[in-house]
């Protein structure tokens, strides 16, 4: 049996694990679209450790799943994702991370180790994490007040005092620090900034390639036409911009017309485009919340016998059901 990713012939005993089209980190669905004996155990392990770990715990979509009660056994990584409280009084701009709360559907917030400097002209604090603290001269040039009573700490106070000293700011901890005690109650705005890099590109592309495989089977996706995307996903080869793009345009016709995304869950579609020579997939995870559509070029200038392909599905996080889109560009589920 040949693996659809590494293209190696292996015995059936090395295809014990299954691969879901949508990783289970983004929800468990009834009658999930699953690849059986198509991805070898070695590739499954590689993807789990090197791609899906980061896609599920260090991406916009990985953070969004907390709003649907989907928790990881381990905390998010926060290398690609940064979060700040919106302009809510004194806490506006404070760096936060998610934490479990008593409400299963809404995660709580926790401030991380940081220091805040007051800017008298803007009349607000700007907060810097331990790795972001500028030198004293730079802070003074930007107009921040560095007297003891205007410095606010949160988290590991002793560490921050030491870091400030290294930056040329000497303070006496027993007299000057204030600690942010509690997050405000109720719903508060949080600004999220995320970096979408090659690992995330590859993880999202893998979802669409799995979707193609689920519908068309091993023989079809083993064609050389798909080697470019396959090598990008499995071995990080090639220029990612050749295979991956991002747009704010909605997938579904009605959402484009009314310029409002309304579906909570995930949408995947694929069809031929550009005079039926290019096979294009589109994916959005947490459609209404994230508001981004990922475009994946499955292959360009297809050279085989043309086969009609126009598929689409919606993954509903509320009902846990997967619904087929009868016309992927026209009809809502």
- How many whole angstroms separate alpha carbon 49 and alpha carbon 264? 28
Residue 140, burial from CB neighbour count under 10 angstroms (0-12, 13-18, 19+):
middle
Residue 42 has a CB neighbour count (10 Å cut-off) of 15
Pairing verdict, β 178-179 and 151-154 = parallel
Where are the domains positioned within the chain?
12-57+195-324, 81-193
- The proportion of the chain whose per-residue pLDDT surpasses 90, expressed as a percent, equals 60
What pLDDT score does 227 carry?
97
What pLDDT score does 172 carry?
67
* pLDDT tens for each residue of 27-38: 999 988 999 999
Q: What is the pTM of this model?
A: 0.85
DSSP state of 2: B
Ramachandran area for residue 123 (φ above 0: left; ψ -120 to 50: alpha; else beta): left
Weakly modelled stretches of the chain, pLDDT under 50 = 174-181, 328-333
Q: Edge to edge, what strands does the sheet with 278-284 contain? A: 244-247, 293-299, 278-284, 266-273, 310-315, 322-324
Which residue intervals of 117-252 are DSSP H helices? 136-141, 157-166, 173-176, 198-221, 227-235
What pLDDT score does 177 carry?
42
- All residues at 6 or more sequence positions from 147 whose CB lies less than 8 Å from its CB, including other chains: none
- How many whole angstroms separate alpha carbon 68 and alpha carbon 104? 8
Beta bridge partners of 114: 129, 154
What pLDDT score does 66 carry?
81
- Residue 93 in tokens: 């701009």
- How many whole angstroms separate alpha carbon 242 and alpha carbon 205? 12
What pLDDT score does 189 carry?
82
What pLDDT score does 186 carry?
59
DSSP 130-151: TTTPPPHHHHHHTT-B-SGGGE
């Amino acid at each position: 049996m040949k693996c659809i990713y590494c293209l190696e012939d292996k015995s059936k005993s090395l295809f014990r694990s299954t691969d879901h089209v949508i990783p289970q980190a983004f929800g468990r669905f009834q009658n999930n679209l699953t690849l059986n004996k198509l991805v070898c155990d070695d590739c499954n392990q590689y993807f789990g450790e090197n791609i899906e770990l980061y896609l599920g715990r260090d991406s916009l979509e990985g953070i969004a799943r907390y709003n649907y009660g989907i928790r990881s056994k381990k905390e998010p990584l926060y290398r690609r994702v940064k979060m700040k409280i919106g302009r809510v009084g004194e806490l506006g701009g404070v760096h936060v991370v998610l934490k479990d709360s008593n409400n299963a559907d809404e995660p709580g917030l926790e401030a991380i180790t940081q220091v805040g400097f007051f800017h008298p002209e803007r009349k607000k604090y700007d907060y810097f994490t331990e790795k972001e603290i500028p030198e004293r001269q730079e802070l003074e040039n930007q107009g921040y007040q560095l007297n003891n009573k205007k410095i606010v700490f949160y988290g590991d106070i002793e560490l921050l005092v030491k870091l400030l000293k290294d930056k040329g700011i000497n303070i006496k901890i027993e007299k000057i620090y204030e600690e942010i005690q509690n997050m405000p109650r109720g719903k508060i705005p949080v600004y999220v900034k995320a970096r979408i890099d090659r690992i995330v590109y590859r993880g999202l592309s893998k979802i669409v390639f799995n979707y193609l495989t689920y519908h068309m089977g091993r023989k079809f996706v083993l064609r050389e036409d798909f080697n470019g995307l396959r090598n990008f996903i499995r071995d990080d080869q090639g220029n990612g911009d050749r295979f991956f793009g991002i747009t704010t345009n909605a997938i579904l016709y009605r959402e484009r017309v009314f310029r409002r995304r309304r579906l909570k869950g995930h949408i995947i579609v694929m069809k031929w485009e550009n005079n039926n020579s290019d096979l294009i997939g589109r994916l959005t995870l947490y459609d209404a919340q994230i508001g981004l559509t990922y475009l994946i070029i499955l292959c360009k200038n297809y050279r085989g016998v043309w086969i009609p392909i126009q598929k689409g599905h919606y993954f509903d996080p509320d009902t846990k059901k997967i619904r087929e889109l009868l016309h992927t560009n026209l009809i809502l589920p």
